Amino acid sequence: MAAHRLSPSLNRLLFAVKYSSLQSRCCAGHCYAHYSTVSSPSEKTFDKILIANRGEIACRVIKTCRKMGIQTVAVHSDVDFSAVHVKMADEAVCVGPAPTNKSYLNMDAIMEAVRATGAQAVHPGYGFLSENKEFAKRLAAENVAFIGPDTHAIMAMGDKIESKLIAKAAEVNTIPGYDGVVKTAEEAVTISQQIGYPVMIKASAGGGGKGMRIAWNDNETREGFRFSSQEAASSFGDDRLLIEKFIDNPRHIEIQVLADKHGNALWLNERECSIQRRNQKVVEEAPSTFLDPETRRAMGEQAVKLAKAVQYSSAGTVEFLVDSKKNFYFLEMNTRLQVEHPITECITGLDLVEQMIRVAKGYHLKYKQEDIPINGWAIESRVYAEDPYKSFGLPSVGRLSQYKEPLNLSNVRVDSGIQEGSDISIYYDPMISKLVTYGATRAEALAKMEDALDNYVIRGVTHNIPLLREIITHPRFISGDITTNFLPEVYPEGFKGLQLGADSRRELLASAAALHVTAQLRSQRLLGDLRVSSAPVELSHWDLVVELEEGKHSVEVTKSGNVYTVEVDGEQVEVSGQWNLASPLLPLSINGTHRMLQYLSRDASGRIDLQYKGTSFKIRVLSKLAAELNSYMPEKVPEDTSSLLRSPMPGTVVAVSVKPGDTVAEGQEICVIEAMKMQNSLTAARGAKVKSVHCKAGETVGEGDLLVELE
């Protein structure tokens, strides 16, 4: 373990000079945070807080600490030595190598960092040690404040089996299920048959969608038991499971609670979290379109009743499943700050991190229930380094070669812990940021989110902005007709990106043609400086062929100033803009409508990659002569991949279930890959004999690596 320290004043000066652009990016969120950015100087809390976390949540805590005049200590793994949260903190301590169990879950190293820096309190963020009762106990034993609930509440609510029993006793609505620990796969099958399919198998400890599986029959129960127990052990160090009835087509709505150490507790309204993939949230909003005031109050009162039953003190979240008739059932309580807390801050004006720090110091809550408003509407999109075309999002790794957050827009907040040049690795969660927009109405917040996603520049890793934009513009989402099954119902064949209608196709073709001509004219001007032309000619008309997806389109382009008139398949489209080819953003006016495209790449063969309405499209623009000559070129025969099993994501091989010579059936498991603590079973695409195996358990593989070859 190594620590580096500077005096607070020198640290802040160096930070301001060296990372001035970073500071403006990270702190610009205060302008649009929609919570109080000032703190009472009369309230003495802590001199120094250590943040036992990384990434965006560590940066988020540091911002509030600065507002409150509190010095901060960052902890980091060796690969995170130059991370944003390390640069923002007053001090930083390395707590081990990259794997989480050797760094961010290494209690001994973090406790030593607390002692070495003299931190008076620890904020755990979310994940990692945030709900670990042993960590809270060790801090208490050394008279260091844990900025969260006490160990009793963590223990009671962190165990899903015990929490369900406590909820029942507190007269909180609960889901029917088995109230004990399930020890074997066969016992899981017996219990599932008694409850009645479908059932939810989930880890007793932890959360975040890890260690959770839905089973619709006996075989899925056995498989779900295996994967859930392995994920639970890997993520939380506790492989105990429980089983309960799975409520089909529910909404996932949670209540934010805030309680102090003096018996006062509030509910801070709800968050709608129904848009999920693999039981992990993707888009959240506050308030919910579904709840009426009576149901909201009933859910809030039950959430507070549960918090009081365990003498809860801090910010916490009580999660409910809500059916179509507004019946609601307790799901779990998260005894920590939630990922999606910013949208609650937007509609209430409260800084939840500040409230947690105040409560940890022993102050009474400043507010009463009647003081808690719902002002406007807030929406959060979780921006991940994931490929949304693979199971709605499989992790992507790489370096952010270009990165620009849309903070030039009003009412936009970005909570992130990365910057241009940051690495997204296999060791940690692939979240890039939480993109939050706010409006007086839901329609206003949605329109702002659409603009923010279009203006968000991310290069170097695959990201899920195409999926996010399609979700927030889908008619079902706009109408509020959502459940936790939204994604598989709307995209039963998987996510395919924006499906172009006739008007959208013409817009994209015209934009590509105009961009191609702009680039050609620029090249001519640059080359023209190198030679003397006897008869310079300014072209104003071009006949082109534009290839998009499987279609070829004849296009005529005429130019007047910065305005192009493009005839696409007999229809005229007018495109104008500043045409700055050095910028990744391409603001255009298309038939009078503003569009923000992104210029991803272009090569000499006429290939152009454009991001349009969130989705990346590969387009080729050729002159008519070049298109005619190109038609004589032989087509490349695609590789037959039916006999090859390649890794769909970077990760670690957990298990290999076959060996050369084995015969496998279609759908049979071949190997298991773990990425970001989630295990993924890879199966045979067809029945065949195994020819060769190119991986073994424990190996790290990259996306596209050959794992197994079939005959």
- Given this model, what pLDDT does residue 650 score? 87
3-state secondary structure (DSSP) of residue 41:
coil
The C-alpha angle with vertex 94 and arms to 90 and 95, in degrees rounded to 5, equals: 125
Helix (H) or strand (E) holding 257: strand 251-259
Tokens of 148: 């969260």
Residues 172-202: b if buried by 16+ CB within 10 A, e if exposed: bebbebbeeebeebebbbebbeebeebbbbb
Residue in 45, 108, 33 with CA at minimum distance from that of residue 71: 45
The amino acid that residue 469 corresponds to is R
| Ranges 113-127, 537-551, 575-589: which has the least confidence | 537-551
- Mind listing the pLDDT tens digit for each residue in 473-518? 999 999 999 999 999 999 999 999 999 999 999 999 999 999 999 9
Q: Give the pairing type, strands 71-76 and 669-675.
A: unpaired
> Choosing from 336, 358, 413, 469, which is the catalytic residue?
336
Among 273-277, 580-584, 642-646, the range with the most confident prediction by mean pLDDT is 273-277
**Residue 336 bears catalytic tag:** yes
20 pLDDT exceeds 80?
Answer: no
- Mind listing the pLDDT tens digit for each residue in 685-710? 889 999 999 999 999 998 889 999 99
18 pLDDT exceeds 60?
Answer: no
- Given this model, what pLDDT does residue 208 score? 58
Tokens of 689: 């004999």
Per the DSSP assignment, residues forming a β-bridge with 49 are 72, 121
- Given this model, what pLDDT does residue 15 score? 44
CB atoms within 10 A of CB 666: 10
Confidence of residue 211 (pLDDT cuts 50, 70, 90): confident
471: region left, alpha or beta (phi > 0 left; psi from -120 to 50 alpha): alpha
- Given this model, what pLDDT does residue 12 score? 43
Which residue has better confidence, 650 or 307? Answer: 307
527 pLDDT exceeds 80?
Answer: no
Residue in 655, 667, 687 with CA at minimum distance from that of residue 227: 655
Confidence of residue 23 (pLDDT cuts 50, 70, 90): very low
Strands ordered across the beta sheet of 314-322: 328-334, 314-322, 251-259, 265-277, 280-286, 377-384, 431-439, 412-416
Please list, in sequence order, all residues whose beta carbon lies within 8 angstroms of the beta carbon of residue 471, skipping any fewer than 6 positions away. 275, 282, 283, 477, 486, 487
Confidence of residue 65 (pLDDT cuts 50, 70, 90): very high
Q: Give the pairing type, strands 431-439 and 412-416.
A: antiparallel
- Given this model, what pLDDT does residue 538 score? 59
Tokens of 88: 């923002």
Confidence of residue 641 (pLDDT cuts 50, 70, 90): confident
CB atoms within 10 A of CB 219: 10
Q: What share of residues in the chain are helix, strand, coil (percent, to 5)?
A: 30, 30, 40
Please list, in sequence order, all residues whose beta carbon lies within 8 angstroms of the beta carbon of residue 575, skipping any fewer than 6 positions away. 510, 511, 514, 563, 564, 565, 566, 588, 589, 590
Half-sphere exposure of 230 (CA within 13 A, CB side): 18
663 pLDDT exceeds 90?
Answer: yes
Cα–Cα distance measured from residue 273 to residue 332, given in angstroms and rounded to the nearest whole number:
14
* Helical segments of 196-265, H only: 218-236
What is the DSSP annotation of 420-472?
A: TT-EE-TTS--EEEEEEEEESSHHHHHHHHHHHHHH-EEESS--SHHHHHHHH
Q: What is the pTM of this model?
A: 0.84
Cα–Cα distance measured from residue 111 to residue 258, given in angstroms and rounded to the nearest whole number:
27
Confidence of residue 677 (pLDDT cuts 50, 70, 90): low
Cα–Cα distance measured from residue 558 to residue 543, given in angstroms and rounded to the nearest whole number:
9
Phi/psi for 9 (5° steps) reads -65, -40
| Ranges 59-68, 311-320, 391-400: which has the least confidence | 391-400
The amino acid that residue 308 corresponds to is K
Cα–Cα distance measured from residue 627 to residue 37, given in angstroms and rounded to the nearest whole number:
59
- Mind listing the pLDDT tens digit for each residue in 220-255? 999 999 888 887 776 667 778 889 888 878 999 999
